[in-house]
A and B are shown apart, each in its own frame.
Chain A
Amino acid sequence: MDKSAVIETEGLTKIYRSAFSKFQVKAVDDLNIKVNRGEIFGFLGPNGSGKTTTMKILLGLLRPTSGSAWVLGRQSDDVAVKDRIGFLPEESYLYRFLSAEETLDFYGRIFKIPYKERRKRIAELIELVGLGHAGKRRVREYSKGMARRLGFAQALINDPEVIFLDEPTSGLDPLVARQVKDIILDQKKQGKTIFMSSHLLADVENICDRIAILHLGKLQKVGSVKELISSQDVSEVGIRGLSPAVVESIKGLVAKNGGEVVSVQPAAETLETLFLRTIKPESKSDE
């Protein structure tokens, strides 16, 4: 185990077996990842790739079939770890009969936060996620965006060192999605480590330091976003001073027409292209 890693898995494997037949599914297959302190780590993969299963093992909700998972230097199912982590699930699974304040109070009590500090923290978080006007309303009256923001607030109630976010921006309108991304970046500034899974590649590309791509339970790629989306066999040429009609010409024509080549560097493909290219061969073999 690497002591500098905040999250680490070694040979992590999870097999789901049917109780009444021999049918079994390998949801996670020999996964090895490390997440360093203070980074935003994106966990990508299509549906059924094993992202949520991995996250549930890291959160101690599932037990691995083999291999190990550590969070903050302890086994992931150790209750002591949970004092220092926050979790926002894919949907905000909240008690609909509670108000936002009561919800945060419930989770605050679980973290043994003293009364005065708890009241202060609840007020701060409700303001942070923009629910100041609806703190006393029952969750059943909330829109999806409001419930999501409250879910985010509960994940931060204990001022966690590591935050797990499962699809934090999915299903949100662009404005709320922007607010959520701002909160994530703000948490990073405060030195928090963030482990997030998402389908929204543009979001991941914008805010993640490193990413891992998972497909059919196996780790396909891992590295920094820049590193992974750089392409070695294609160059990007930055040209200045030409009319749009000439842009179509190749590099040799630039000099011939008196233009100036200001930079030559490896061109970046989008994360979306990389993602599709990574999982495409496997998908075909499935068919």
Chain B
Amino acid sequence: MRALFAIILLTYRESLRKKILLVLVLFCIGLIVSSAFLPAVSPAARIKLVQTWTFQSVTFFGILVAIFLAAVSIPSDIENKRIFMTLTKPVTRETIIMGRLIGFILTTAVITIIMAFVGMGYIRLVSLFSSEARGALVVNQRIKPDQFYFQQAPPAGSLNGTYKRAEIGKELEVSLEGEGNNLAAYEFSNLNEYRFNDRVRAEINLKVGEGMGKVSSTILVKVVNPTTKEESTQKLDITYRRSEVVEFDRRLIDKVGDVRIFLYRTVPGSYIRVGTDSIILLSPQSSFEWNFLLAFGIVFLQIVLVLVFCVTCSSFLSGAVNIFLNMFLYFCGSGMRFLQDSLADMRRMMLEQIKREDVIEAATQAHRHTEGDIPLWMMQLSDTVLDNVLKIIPDFSRFDVWDNLLKGYAINISEYTHLAEYIFIYLVVMLAIGIIAFRLRDIK
């Protein structure tokens, strides 16, 4: 245990005394400070800009610091033969890996905490100059509906149904269209445990359109108190996929904390695509600081995952190769959603091609593929390879919380549990690989 502590302390001292850390931290602070002087249309937009720059700068430089310190540490010890001095002492190779990993986690934790407080202080400082800016820092808890109903006009009416959140399990999206009356309804329960102002805010996210090419429409939003049947209705102009906020009276939430919200089409022939989370209630929370710190906590978890890869791979790779590999993994992992969407598109194309080839084959009685298409076997091979590669690469897009900060959404503590579980799996697998590789390695 003392050997482990000695290596942790060594790593901590080494990191703090390296010039690259100081350079990156100063550069990061420079970026944060400069963000307040960028052009912005309003004080609220400026504060959001400062917030985004602060968060993105700390994330980016945090990852860079993690990679540049941790990826070269063990390889540099081996290359400069300092490892001889350590390995000839009563210390196991796994202790070196664990000590290095914990040391770097400790170092980056200290840096992240300092940067989070510097960033937070700076945002508060900039917000002091405008009440509008202070208002933009409000954080809202997002409350998703407990039940979702929809009613479609014939002939699609067979899809009518009621969906409870617990039973849905995944996102569901249906299209309300045609000439008849149809609607979507959302039921929220147990709202008494949340805080609301006199005017309750609800965010509406829909895909709407009217005929060919027009991607906006007007809908009706009706809010009903389920007990007193008191209601309020308002018209809302919606543009495709752009979220809008409506407000209703706090009294429309009944005594047990339930409220129902209905969405109707107003224009015959228009369509609205609704999903389980198309309406979300926003419950204001007082502490922007707490939310900001939670966001940095998630950034730190992301850095921990990078460190796990850097330190374990450093037991068998050279420093330069390890930096390159981890940069690659981080950028691929950050674009994981895009990569997965691309894979899904590729699968759709593949299925379409299979159908086309079946048709041609049936008509001509001969096996052939459409001219100009990529051969099917190549698509299938790419699909298999890409699918398996994406399973190995860590999904850093899971840690993406800057959108929450930008829109003022509260970050739930429960997200930490999911992310910690995700990291733990990589930690166990990568440590096992790193320790075995390091044990088998001859130190020449």
Residues on A lying within 8 angstroms of B by beta carbon are 16, 56, 59-63, 79-80, 82-83, 85, 87, 89, 91, 93-95, 97-98, 102, 106-107, 109-112, 151, 154, 158, 164
Contacts and interface: CB of A to CB of B under 8 A. Distances in A.
Given A94-B82, A95-B82, A106-B9, A111 B90 contact: yes
B310 to A, nearest CB: 19
A110 B443 contact: no
Contacts of B9: 106, 109
30 contacts: A16-B444, A59-B84, A60-B87, A61-B87, A61-B88, A61-B443, A62-B444, A63-B442, A80-B90, A82-B88, A87-B88, A89-B85, A93-B81, A93-B82, A95-B10, A95-B14, A95-B82, A97-B14, A97-B17, A106-B6, A106-B9, A106-B10, A109-B6, A110-B3, A110-B6, A110-B7, A110-B90, A110-B91, A112-B90, A164-B88
Nearest to B80: A93
Contact of A110 (B14, B18, B89, B442): B89
A56 B444 CA distance: 8
Given A61-B84, A87-B84, A79 B442 contact: no
Contact of B90 (A16, A82, A93, A164): A82
Contacts of B17: 97
B425 to A, nearest CB: 29
Contact of A97 (B13, B88, B91): B13
Nearest to A102: B13
A66 to B, nearest CB: 15
Contacts of B18: 97
A87 B88 CA distance: 7
Contacts of B232: none
A83 B87 contact: no
B6 A93 contact: no
A186 B14 CA distance: 35
Interface in B312-327: none
B367 interface: no
Contacts of A94: 82, 85
Contact of B3 (A62, A95, A97, A112): A112
A48 B418 CA distance: 55
Nearest to A61: B443
Interface string B59-95: 0000000000000000000001110111111111000
A59 B85 contact: no
Contacts, number: 79
A60 B88 contact: yes
A109 B81 contact: no
A123 B90 CA distance: 22
Contacts of B442: 61-63
A123 B429 CA distance: 44
Residue from B5, B7, B10, B18 whose CB has the most chain A CB atoms within 10 Å: B10
A98 B84 contact: no
Contact of A91 (B5, B81, B89, B443): B81
Interface in B1-42: 2-3, 5-7, 9-10, 13-14, 17-18
Contacts of B14: 95, 97
Contacts of A82: 88-91
A95 B89 CA distance: 15
Contacts of B82: 93-95
Interface in B354-374: none
Nearest to B82: A93
A79 B84 contact: no
Contacts of A110: 2-3, 6-7, 86, 89-91
Interface in B73-130: 80-82, 84-92
A62 B443 CA distance: 6
Contact of A59 (B5, B10, B88, B444): B88
A2 B81 CA distance: 32
B176 to A, nearest CB: 64
Nearest to B2: A112
A106 B96 CA distance: 13
A111 B89 contact: yes
A98 B3 CA distance: 17
A95 B444 CA distance: 19
Contacts of A158: 89
Given A61-B84, A89-B81, A95-B10, A107 B89 contact: yes
Contacts of B7: 110
Given A109-B5, A110-B2, A93 B85 contact: yes
Nearest to A27: B444
Contacts of B80: 93
A79 B442 CA distance: 16
A63 B5 CA distance: 27
B102 to A, nearest CB: 15
Contacts of B444: 16, 56, 62
A61 B82 CA distance: 12
B260 to A, nearest CB: 65
Nearest to A95: B82
A85 B86 CA distance: 12
A94 B439 CA distance: 23
A158 B89 CA distance: 9
A151 B85 CA distance: 9
B6 to A, nearest CB: 4
Contacts of B90: 79-80, 82-83, 110-112
Nearest to B15: A97
Nearest to B444: A62
A154 B443 contact: no
A158 B5 CA distance: 18
B81 A56 contact: no
B85 A154 contact: yes
Contacts of B13: 97-98, 102
B172 to A, nearest CB: 54
Contact of A93 (B5, B84, B89): B84
B134 to A, nearest CB: 44
